[in-house]
Amino acid sequence: METTTQVRELTPDYKMWMAENTVGNKNVVWQYQRMMVGGIIRKQLSWNEVQSMKKRVKRLADCNKNWDTETYEASHVKVLLRTFLCKDKFCPNCQAVKRTVLWNRLQPDIEQNKDSLYHMTLTVPDCTAEELYDTVRHMARCFKTLVTYLNGNKKVRGVDLSQYDFKGCFRSLEITCKGDAYHPHLHVAAVWGNGGNLEDKRITNEFSGPKNRLFSEFEATIQRIWWLLINGKRLTYHNIFEDDTLGRYSCTVDKCQPDDCERLTTYVIKGSPMESITSENFRTIYHALKNFRQIQGYGIFYRVKGIEGTEDYTEPDYQALEQYITSGERPVNQRERTNHLACDSKYIMLRAKYQPRKV
Domain boundaries, the chain: 2-87+312-357, 92-308
Q: How many CA atoms lie within 13 A of 172 on its CB side?
A: 24
Given a contact cutoff of 8 angstroms between Cβ atoms, the answer to whether 208 and 180 are in contact is no
Q: What is the pLDDT of residue 82?
A: 72
pLDDT reading at 9 higher than 70: no
Name the pLDDT band for 329 (thresholds 50, 70, 90): very low
Q: Which of 5, 10, 3 is nearest to 345 (CA)?
A: 10
203, pLDDT greater than 50: yes
- Asked whether the beta carbons of 156 and 240 are under 8 A apart, the reply is yes
Taking the mean position of all CA atoms in its chain, how far away is CA 359? 37
Q: Tell me, rounded to whole angstroms, the distance of Cα 43 from its chain centroid.
A: 33
pLDDT digits 0-9 by tens, 267-322: 555 544 555 678 888 889 988 988 888 888 899 888 766 544 434 444 454 443 33
For residue range 40-93, what is the model confidence (pLDDT) as tens digits? 888 888 888 888 888 888 888 888 777 777 777 776 677 777 777 787 878 877
State whether the Cα torsion 89-91-97-100 is positive or negative. positive
Average pLDDT over residues 333-349: 69
